[in-house]
């Protein structure tokens, strides 16, 4: 039995962490995230935690090294065991946050699909950047460089450029959730949609 891959995407502040928790009781499931806690992912998290930005080239190199290791050691073995793998972010986030343009974003996705599996189900928490920034600030956090309004706007545009490409979305069940609603409503709607998609696949 082949497993299935569910990826959750969205700009910072869209509610991904809460949704991952809501998916916590899926049967035969494994929950993971990117960047990982491996050596490459740890280096990225430490830099982001300090509010630092590496060069785009350095970030992409670390992210892709982390992802290759993640696919080899975690995702592919779990799928081979027939598990449902739920991943908080994947190469779509790389396209959105490290892409230089909408075409570069699509190119990043194409390149990553050469070694990382396409998701069976892709959940996108759609939240306008102004709402996302308000949520980040409501948590009492000072927005970091990746969480600035300008960055969130650019990331949202790059996400949309990928969703609009039929070849990149081929074979993927795409679920767009309006994340402006209260988080409990958003997570409940997303959970119902994911359950339905997994039953059909």
- Tell which wins on pLDDT, 67 or 137: 67
Q: Which domain holds residue 119?
A: 4-200
Confidence of residue 17 (pLDDT cuts 50, 70, 90): confident
**94 labelled ligand-binding:** no
pLDDT (tens digit, 9 = 90+) per residue, 80-122? 999 999 999 999 999 999 999 999 999 999 999 999 999 999 9
- Residue 96 tokens read as 């959105």
**24 labelled ligand-binding:** no
**10 labelled ligand-binding:** yes
Contact between residue 68 and residue 62 where contact means Cβ atoms under 8 Å apart: no
- Which pLDDT value is given to residue 201? 67
What's the whole-number mean pLDDT along residues 48-77?
91
- Which pLDDT value is given to residue 144? 62
Contact between residue 13 and residue 130 where contact means Cβ atoms under 8 Å apart: no
Confidence of residue 1 (pLDDT cuts 50, 70, 90): low
**88 labelled ligand-binding:** no
- Which pLDDT value is given to residue 37? 94
- Tell which wins on pLDDT, 4 or 137: 4
User: Does the structure show a pLDDT above 80 at 166?
Assistant: yes
CATH code at 26?
Answer: 3.40.50.300
**14 labelled ligand-binding:** yes
**151 labelled ligand-binding:** no
- Which pLDDT value is given to residue 94? 97
Q: How many domains does the chain have?
A: 1
What's the whole-number mean pLDDT along residues 12-26?
87
pLDDT (tens digit, 9 = 90+) per residue, 39-54? 999 999 888 778 777 8
- Which pLDDT value is given to residue 56? 84
The bridge status of strand 121-126 relative to strand 84-88 is unpaired
- Which pLDDT value is given to residue 119? 98
Confidence of residue 146 (pLDDT cuts 50, 70, 90): low
Contact between residue 8 and residue 88 where contact means Cβ atoms under 8 Å apart: yes
Average pLDDT over the chain, rounded to whole? Answer: 92
Q: Environment class of residue 21 by beta-carbon count within 10 Å: exposed (0-12), middle (13-18) or buried (19+)?
A: exposed
**75 labelled ligand-binding:** no
Angle at which helix 91-98 crosses helix 149-163, to 10 degrees, equals 130
Beta bridge partner(s), residue 4? 84
Beta bridge partner(s), residue 49? none
- Tell which wins on pLDDT, 21 or 171: 171
User: Does the structure show a pLDDT above 80 at 66?
Assistant: yes
Question: Which helix (H) or strand (E) element contains residue 43?
Answer: helix 39-49
Residues in the chain, total: 201
What's the whole-number mean pLDDT along residues 128-133?
93
**13 labelled ligand-binding:** yes
Beta bridge partner(s), residue 93? none
List all residues 6 or more positions away from 70 whose beta carbon is below 8 Å from its beta carbon. Answer: 32, 34, 36, 38, 41
* Cα separation values, 148 from 70, 153, 168, Å: 28, 9, 28
């Amino acid at each position: 039995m082949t497993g299935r891959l569910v990826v959750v995407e969205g700009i910072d502040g869209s509610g991904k962490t809460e949704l991952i928790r809501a998916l916590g009781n899926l049967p035969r499931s494994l929950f993971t995230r990117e960047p990982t806690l491996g050596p490459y992912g740890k280096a990225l998290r430490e830099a982001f935690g300090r509010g630092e930005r590496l060069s785009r080239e350095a970030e992409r190199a670390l992210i892709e090294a982390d992802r290759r290791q993640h696919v080899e050691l975690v995702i592919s073995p779990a799928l081979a065991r027939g598990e449902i793998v739920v991943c908080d972010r994947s190469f779509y986030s790389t396209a959105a946050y490290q892409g230089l343009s909408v075409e570069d974003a699509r190119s990043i996705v194409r390149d990553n699909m050469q070694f990382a599996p396409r998701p069976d189900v892709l959940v996108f928490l759609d939240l306008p950047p102004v709402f996302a920034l308000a949520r980040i600030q409501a948590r009492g956090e000072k927005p970091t460089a990746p969480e600035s309004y300008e960055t969130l706007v650019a990331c949202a545009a790059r996400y949309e450029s990928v969703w609009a490409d039929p070849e990149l979305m081929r074979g993927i069940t795409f679920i767009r959730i309006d994340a402006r609603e209260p988080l409990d409503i958003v997570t409940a709607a997303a959970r119902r949609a994911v359950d339905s998609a997994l039953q059909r696949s």
